[in-house]
Structure 1
Amino acid sequence: MIKKITPVLVAGVLLAPGTAHARTTPAVMAALGDSISAGFNACGWYVACTSRSWSAGDHPSVNSHYLRLLSLAPAIKGHNLNFAVPGSTSADLAGQARQAVRSGAQYVTILIGAQDACMGSERDMTPVSVYRRRIDEALNVLKPSGAQVFVASIPDLKRLWRVGKDNAWARAFWAVGRICQSMLAGPTSTAKKDVARRDAVRERVMAYNDELRQACAAYGPTCRYDGGAVFGYPFTLKLLSPWDYFHPNADGQRALAKVTFDAGFYAAVEP
């Protein structure tokens, strides 16, 4: 039987029994990233649904990081900022980080990189070295603020292909919408070049995730990487939007919220 840990909140500081360090609960949080953190297609047709964001959403169906933190520290109420923008790549992250700093965010979540790999073709993917430089730039913007940073791994795009390739609706949406063609073009093809292309995209995502891990470690103890939790999550078609079979629906956002929060700063003291 797992014993539930009861946190003690003193002047905005969480003291969890048996923990070596107190954690100051944030009064302002911000979500940075792309369409996933913006809640794209989670509640409407091709629109950002920030209320359903796994990070800063306020809809109870998702039980986001914001709502979980709200249960620990009521001072954060209404201070759930979302600077994630659909279509963003790592090139946009530093700008979002500046917005977070200007807004006084004390807790920041980052999920970025799917769009760096989801290009029109394999050769257009962001080089790993460029991706890392951009991540470092964004973290360097955040570091002087003292913000806690949670970094989520990029989802396994090849799993997305695997769970959707035999679904006619998924294939149709991927083709008509030209969605992530580096991975999803010719989804039923077993030609060697297509198999190699999918493997190359997956390897690129894995390389990005390794750079995220290293960059977070370099940031210091106030950065937490999810340890590959999102990449390894066994999502299914039921967790994807029926409007594109690519972005998480509300249930998918809820799953992301849980798997990431469980890997984060406050899991041990969640009520």
Structure 2
Amino acid sequence: MREFRRSRRRAVAGAVAAALAITAGPVGCDAPPGADRGPVKRPKPSPTRVWDRAPGSLAAVGDSITRGFDACSLFADCPEVSWATGTDTAVRSLALRLLGTAAGAPPGPEPPPAGRPGGGAAPPQNPPPAAAPRRAWNHARSGARMADLPAQMTAAADRGPELVTVMVGANDACRDTPAQMTPVAEFTESFTAAMRSLRRTAPKTHVYVSSVPDLKRLWSTGRGNPLGKQIWKLGICASMLGDADDLGPAAQERRALVHDRVVAYNRALRDVCAKDLRCRYDGDAVFDYRFTGEQLSPWDWFHPSRNGQSRLAEIAYRNITAARPPE
């Protein structure tokens, strides 16, 4: 009988200990379901990129390409044929394609099938030439390098544009020798500073960044023209175009250095742009475009001709109005 009572007491004690353990909860382990765990930390959602496919005003910054240099005459700007802000209806600048339509000009035709030369949607029908200039400003300067961009961006921001176009970098690679090319780190710092300059006074302005053209491809295309090669001897982009017919190892290495630097500049443009929620890079569209003799200036066989300016406008219009950014 005594043994039976001891066994019973041990059983009761064990049951009580088990109940206390459950009540107190496990030590050093997760709390049971329903227990108060405190605030739950959730991952922050990624910021949403913002893009306006139909801006109502634009300012252009950059270099001689955006100034229409050598498109109309030798060694002269011709801003009326600029791909960005020009008024020439034969070129159909980005400003005319975007702002002319916004100002009440008839909309353009439907985009053609894939494979259209130059890529992308056909431009709208010619809007009235006066429609764009009232809301388009060209702050580019022939000869400008990336170090000049912060000041241009400040001037552009003062206009309060809904879109700023950027095309700069060729002059950073086009120097007397490859050793004089702008270092990539310096190029990147200047572009970052330019974006900061814009954002100080224009936080909601959208920015479209064009890639630097493939200078080596321009050399390959233009060197077949005897007149063009004579003009090149005057010092146009000597790091790439100098001794145009020299195919020896040293000349090839020099051109390869310039080509690689342009590729690095484009990566910098892409990476800095990617950090800004209202910036869109062209996905190397200008760099990849295969300019022909028809698209090169008849004066220097290096800068874009009227036709080349029109192709640049077409590329920009396609990318700016696209629902998604270029890959």
The two structures have a TM-score, normalised by structure 1, of 0.87
> Quick check: 2:57–2:99 contact (8 Å CA) kept in 1?
no
**Pair 1:126-2:182 in alignment:** yes
DSSP 3-state at the match of 1:231: helix
1:203, distance to aligned residue in structure 2 (A): 0.3
**Pair 1:160-2:218 in alignment:** yes
Q: Deviations over 1:93-137 (max 9, x none)?
A: 000000011111221000000000000001000000000000000
1:21, distance to aligned residue in structure 2 (A): 7.2
1:170, distance to aligned residue in structure 2 (A): 1.6
Q: Deviations over 1:37-60 (max 9, x none)?
A: 011112233221111111111211
The residue that corresponds to 1:259 in the other structure is: 315
1:245, distance to aligned residue in structure 2 (A): 1.1
DSSP 3-state at the match of 2:280: strand
1:24, distance to aligned residue in structure 2 (A): 7.2
Instruction: Give the letter aligned to residue 182 of structure 1.
Output: S
The residue that corresponds to 2:239 in the other structure is: 182
Instruction: Give the letter aligned to residue 254 of structure 2.
Output: R
**Pair 1:150-2:208 in alignment:** yes
Note closer, same or farther for the CA distance 1:225–1:45 as it changes in structure 2 (3 Å cut). Answer: same
**Identity of aligned pairs, percent?**
40
Aligned mate of 2:266, from 183, 192, 209: 209
More off after superposition, 239-248 vs 79-88? 239-248
How many residue pairs are counted as aligned between the two chains?
247
Where does 1:14-33 land on structure 2 (aligned, <5 Å)? 23=52, 25-33=54-62
The residue that corresponds to 2:126 in the other structure is: none
Instruction: Give the letter aligned to residue 138 of structure 1.
Output: A
The residue that corresponds to 2:169 in the other structure is: 113
The residue that corresponds to 1:238 in the other structure is: 294
Note closer, same or farther for the CA distance 1:194–1:67 as it changes in structure 2 (3 Å cut). Answer: same
1:26, distance to aligned residue in structure 2 (A): 3.1
Q: Distance in 1 between matches of 2:306 and 2:147?
A: 27
> Quick check: 1:216–1:225 contact (8 Å CA) kept in 2?
yes
The residue that corresponds to 2:227 in the other structure is: 169
The residue that corresponds to 1:194 in the other structure is: 251
**Pair 1:47-2:76 in alignment:** yes
Q: Distance in 1 between matches of 2:152 and 2:267?
A: 22
1:169, distance to aligned residue in structure 2 (A): 1.3
Instruction: Give the letter aligned to residue 244 of structure 2.
Output: P
DSSP 3-state at the match of 1:227: coil
More off after superposition, 36-45 vs 70-79? 70-79
DSSP 3-state at the match of 1:132: helix
Structure with larger Rg: 2
The residue that corresponds to 2:144 in the other structure is: 88
> Quick check: 1:143–1:219 contact (8 Å CA) kept in 2?
no
> Cα RMSD over matched residues?
1.9
Note closer, same or farther for the CA distance 1:187–1:22 as it changes in structure 2 (3 Å cut). Answer: closer
1:25, distance to aligned residue in structure 2 (A): 3.9
The residue that corresponds to 1:138 in the other structure is: 194
Q: Deviations over 1:148-184 (max 9, x none)?
A: 0000000000001111223211211101x21100001
The residue that corresponds to 2:41 in the other structure is: none
Note closer, same or farther for the CA distance 1:154–1:22 as it changes in structure 2 (3 Å cut). Answer: closer
Q: Distance in 2 between matches of 1:22 and 1:133?
A: 24
> Quick check: 1:93–1:138 contact (8 Å CA) kept in 2?
yes
Instruction: Give the letter aligned to residue 37 of structure 1.
Output: T
